Structure formats: structure tokens, C-alpha cells
Structure 1
Amino acid sequence: MKLRFSIIIPVYNRPQEINELLKSLTKQDVSEEFEVLIIEDGSTKSSEEIVKKYQNQLDVKYFFKENSGAGASRNFGMQKATGNYLIILDSDVIVPTQYVSEVKKALATNFTDAFGGPDAAHKSFTPLQKAINYSMTAVLTTGGIRGKKKGVGKFQPRSFNLGVSKKAFEKTNGFSKMKNGEDIDFTFRLWKNGFETQLIEKAFVYHKRRSTLQQFYKQTFGFGTARPILNKKYPETAKITYWFPSVFILGFDLSILLAFFGCFQLLYFYAFYFLLIFIDSLLQNKNIKVAFLSMVTSFIQFLGYGLGFLESKFFAQK
């Protein structure tokens, strides 16, 4: 089967991000055509003029719809797409020149009806963005589940870099109405319908993620609230490891309390763990500021996810 790709990008009030992403798509090293669909999700800051700049360089289409969230916007784009294989990207990513060709090569070798790709930090990113990227992808913090080759368990594609065949989309009806965790929910429904997924390690994107610690906390809190809902909806997927961030944060609070009574052993454990994060990030990023910020962002990641998980588990689900 000859693949024709439709790249679908929802956007909400981020025209500058669309400019950078479309610019990177013009530099793809493939000669085959692919279409790009920009889905403006009720933005007050329109990307339409930005899109017009690239109409002579890309097969790009612009759609404006009422605000309904990223999942519904992705579904809207997949319905409008003319390709037989759909690629979903977040608006805050930049794609390297070989992205589409790596997807094509991997699917030609091992076709699956869905795939996910990892993310990386571009050299132009700020130290904070690089630190957030580290915290979200490192084996020491997430076990590498977001795209590391040695990640734990079966790979679950994430919506910032996800591909799905038109056939699989039509069978599953795409993303659900979940506000958080809708990509994991989508993956579980793909599996239930007999579709295979894979990690295409070389099909990575540069992902800017959140630009402030407050935004990052809010994002990870949302991730945490989604997991108990997913566990309840798909009990066979529940794992004890999903409790780890909550236990980590409660243990940290206990370590501070015990220190007041002269018991420092638990606090030493946390100090050693964050020292490992500092060293690992320093080795990966070759930047002492990024390494220091990685300790901060890793703590915020545990805090946000852990508290979100506990709130959803014990207060939201009655």
C-alpha cells in the first residue's frame, strides 16, 4: 500500500509556533507530497496569515472551528484529511529534516496502524525548556516511557508525535472527550480493536513543552488526574508504578518531618536521588544550569503528577 501522509496540527493562540513548525516542514528531505492541515481551535490570535505564507511551499490547508479542545480538533482534522495515514503533531514542536522519511522507512519495514515518536530538546531551546524535556524523558524520572529505547513496558504513543492509519481512526472514532490522557485512552482503544502500535525511535521531534514552571506544574497535574480515570476505565492496564510520584511526594514530606526530630536517613536518600538527576542531566546536556534546573523540574513533575493522581483517586471519583 502506497502511503500518503496527512499532517494534522491543532493550534490555540500560538501563531508563532505554527510559523516555526511550518518552516521546518518545508525542509523535509522527501520528494513525495504530503498535506498539512492546521486546525484553529477557536483562537483569538489567528494563525491564518502565517499559514498563507507557506501555501506556495506546502500543500497546507487552514480550518477555523469553535473551541472544543485538542482532542476534538485532531478528530476534525482527521475527518478532513485526504491521506491514508495521519500524523498528529502538537503546535509547539519542530520537526527535523528527516522526520517524514524516517516514518515512511519504518512503516515500509514494519507496518503498524499506529506509531509514536520520541521528543528531544533543540539546541535553541532555553535552559528551562531543556530541563523540562529531561524530566519528561529521562529513565531516572519516567522510566523512559515517553520514547526511550529501553523504556519500561509496551510503548504508548503520545499525541505530540503520533501517527494512525485512516482505517484505525475510522474504526475507533479517534480521540475521546477526555481533557487529559486522551492520547493514552486512544492507544488503549486501538489495542482493544486489534491494531498494533510501535515506537519509531528515529522519528523524533523537538518539543518545546511548557515555558514556565507554573505551566509545567499545571500540565503534570492534569496528567496525574487522568491516570486514575484511565485505570478505572481500563483496569487491566493499571500498574502499581503509577502510584510512585504520589508516594515520592508523601515520602519527601515525611523526610522533612523526620529531620526535625534528628532522623536524616530518608532525607539523605532524596538528596542522593536528586544528585543522580543532576549528574545524569549534566552528562546529557553538558550544561550546569540545565542540570540544576533538571532537579527543580523533576521535583515539580513529581509534585504535579502525584497531587493530581491523589486528588483524582480519592476526591474526584465518588
Structure 2
Amino acid sequence: MPDSLLRTSRSSVKPVLSVVICTYNRAPLLDRVLDSLCRQTLPLRDFEVVIINDGSIDDTEAVSASYASKLPLRYIYQRNAGLASAKNHGLFASRGDVVLFLNDDDIAGEALLEEHVKTHAAFPADNYAVLGYTALDQDISDNPLMHFITEVGCFLFSYPSLKHGDILDYTYFWGGRSSCKRSLLLEFGVFNPVFRFGAEDIELGYRLSKQGLRVVYNEHAVSHTIRKIDFDGFCHRLERQGASNYVFSQLHPEPEIQHWSEVADSERNWSMLGGHYRAIVKSARHLDSMANLKLASGLNLDEEMRNLLYRAYWAAFKACKIKGIMKKKAAFAMLTEHK
């Protein structure tokens, strides 16, 4: 397949909003995401959907093509290059004044696009971005792991402390649920392609904060995440996040970035955790399995069991992120030695 394959069903009218969806081997989920975009309160003439296929080998192209007659849709294939590169590709291909980055596992609430457009109309200056609210889909809302990483530990989202209308800083420029003016990115910076996964959004947000970036929270701009993450999958995700955090810390040595990335204390923390890493993860995995078996049997988790499980999750996930930081740090050191 060529590096770039473009299908288009766009109209000649410039859209107000471009929805950029970067995807990799998630055709069944993408199908549900695109279906949700067919039922928006925002008129079809006012938005376009730009799909960036980041080297998928599944049915992503066929799924996208099936919506060409239902949505103002553009489809672009690129060789696998990572999330930041895919987002940039989508940004450059977009035509709307506002660009919304939507994850390929988040279905849009019916008013999602309209709410983003309304908020940008209320805050028309280029330096204002909009953060929407992402909830767990009903099918996965009872899963203890998903509840922990979104509502308790806030490893995935961090909404409990936010209020509708809050004006937030760059640390809330969250990929997959944020929109911004296209002109701001084109003038002052795009996603750094060194980030294949994780931190690409906050790193860009940090650079844009030098141009006055502010993020408006709109709790009515709702999407629902539909993919259930398993324990080992999330551990792997956090290792990758830790590695990206280390790269972020090397690009920006300022103290606030060292603190946000959790790199400043990583040596000390790993000296305490490293020798116990396998046991920490194994214990949390065992408790996670026990909890899922109990729920599958129709039993509830009592408060003591839930608290024990959450403490185990917290320790394991923190350890995984620190491990990712330390592995990337060691890799950087080896590169430096061989220069």
C-alpha cells in the first residue's frame, strides 16, 4: 500500500470543525466511533472527519470506506509512524478552523461536536482550546480497573476535581478529547514526532502555553470510551508513558516539567521499588483476577476488598511508569556513551 492513500467525500464548503481520528488496528471500534458521528446535532455541512490510518493491517480502510456516503469524510493511509506523526498528518489535511482530536475508541455523544463549536464561539481568541468530558461506556463502567484508572487513581482521565467552565492550564490539553484553533498549531508548533505514544499532547500544550494557551472545560461535550483495558495491557501502557515522560523531561529541563513527568524523583523511587517490582505487579495482577472472577460470579466487591485492590493497582502502576522512565534513561545513557 502506498505511503498516502486519500479517499474523499468532502463538499466544497469549508467546514467549521475538523474531527481528526488517528487509528491503528482497531477497525471494529472505529466502526462504532464513525457511527456515533453520523448522529450529531451539528449539521453535516459544518464538520468533516479526517481519518489517519497509521499503518493498520486490519479492515480499517474498508470500515472507513463504508462511511464515505454517510459522512463528509477524508481517509489517509500512512506507514506506521506513531501517534504524534499521525496527528500532524491529520492537522495538515484538515480544513476546519477548529480541530478536534477524537480517539479511535471513544464514541461521540450526540452534542459533542456542537458543544465544542459553541465553546470556541464563546472564546474566539486563538489561544483558547476546549476540553470535553469522557465517561466510561455502560458496558465497562462496572469494571474495577477501568473505574480506578479514571475516577480514583486518575491515570487515564482526571475529571473529579474539574467544574464546568473552568479555565485550565496546558496540563489539561489532553489528546483525544480536546479541540483547538488550527491556526494556533500551524503558527506556533505541531506535535513532536519523537513521541510515538504518550506525552505528545502535554508537550505541545507546554510549548503553546508560552503563547498563552488556556483550556476551557465543557462538561457537556461528552464522549464515552468503549475499550476495556486489561491489567497487563495497562502496565505496558504505563511503561511506554514513563519512557515518553523521560523524553519530555530531556526536551524541557524546567523544574515544572521534571515534576510533572515524575522524573525528578525516579532514581530514588526505583532504588526503593526496583527490587520488589515483580512481586508488586504479580500481587496486583492476582488481586485483579480475583476481583474479576468474583464479579463474573455475580458477587459484589466489599469495601475491604476494593480498598486492597486499589492500593495494589496504585503501587503496580506507579512502579510500571517509573520502570519506563528508568529504561529510557538507561537507553539515553548508552547512546551518549557511544557518541
Check whether TM > 0.5: yes
TM-score range, shorter chain: 0.7 to 0.9
Q: Give 1:225's match in structure 2, choosing from 239, 243, 246.
A: 243
1:246/1:305 contact within 8 Å kept: no
Residue 71 of structure 1 aligns with which residue?
84
CA positional deviation for 1:225:
1.7
Residue type of the alignment partner of 1:42 = G
**Stretch of structure 1 that moved more, 84-93 or 291-300:** 291-300
For structure 2, list consecutive stretches of 5 or more residues without a partner in the other structure.
Answer: 1-13, 278-286, 292-299
Structure-to-structure mapping, 1:172-211, within 5 angstroms: 172-177=188-193, 178-180=195-197, 181-209=199-227, 211=229
In 1, the alpha carbon distance for the partners of 2:39 and 2:146 equals 24
1:245/1:305 contact within 8 Å kept: no
In 2, the alpha carbon distance for the partners of 1:255 and 1:44 equals 38
In 2, the alpha carbon distance for the partners of 1:28 and 1:131 equals 31
Aligned alpha-carbon RMSD (Å): 3.7
1:118/1:146 contact within 8 Å kept: no
In 2, the alpha carbon distance for the partners of 1:70 and 1:234 equals 20
Would you say 1:84 and 2:97 are equivalent positions? yes
1:137/1:146 contact within 8 Å kept: yes
* SS of alignment partner, residue 94 of structure 1: strand
2:235/2:317 contact within 8 Å kept: yes
Residue 54 of structure 2 aligns with which residue?
41
Residue 24 of structure 1 aligns with which residue?
36
* SS of alignment partner, residue 201 of structure 1: strand
1:116/1:162 contact within 8 Å kept: yes
Residue type of the alignment partner of 1:81 = S
Residue 16 of structure 2 aligns with which residue?
4
CA positional deviation for 1:309:
2.5
In 1, the alpha carbon distance for the partners of 2:123 and 2:69 equals 33
Residue type of the alignment partner of 1:123 = Q
Residue 158 of structure 1 aligns with which residue?
174
1:35/1:58 contact within 8 Å kept: yes
CA positional deviation for 1:4:
0.5
CA positional deviation for 1:175:
0.9
For structure 1, list consecutive stretches of 5 or more residues without a partner in the other structure.
Answer: 257-273, 279-286
Q: Give 1:122's match in structure 2, choosing from 110, 126, 137.
A: 137
Would you say 1:169 and 2:181 are equivalent positions? no
1:96/1:206 contact within 8 Å kept: yes
Summarize deviations over 1:143-191 as a string: whole Å, max 9, x none: 997344449x834222121212110121134211122311111111211
Residue type of the alignment partner of 1:114 = A
In 2, the alpha carbon distance for the partners of 1:104 and 1:232 equals 36
In 1, the alpha carbon distance for the partners of 2:275 and 2:56 equals 44
In 2, the alpha carbon distance for the partners of 1:15 and 1:63 equals 15
In 2, the alpha carbon distance for the partners of 1:229 and 1:44 equals 29
1:40/1:62 contact within 8 Å kept: yes
In 1, the alpha carbon distance for the partners of 2:47 and 2:272 equals 50
Residue type of the alignment partner of 2:139 = S
2:149/2:155 contact within 8 Å kept: no
In 2, the alpha carbon distance for the partners of 1:80 and 1:110 equals 24
Residue 257 of structure 2 aligns with which residue?
238
Residue type of the alignment partner of 1:202 = H
Summarize deviations over 1:216-268 as a string: whole Å, max 9, x none: 11111111122232223223323546267887776678999xxxxxxxxxxxx
CA positional deviation for 1:7:
0.2
Identity of aligned residues (%): 20
Q: Give 1:102's match in structure 2, choosing from 102, 106, 115.
A: 115
1:174/1:186 contact within 8 Å kept: yes
CA positional deviation for 1:206:
1.4
1:144/1:150 contact within 8 Å kept: no
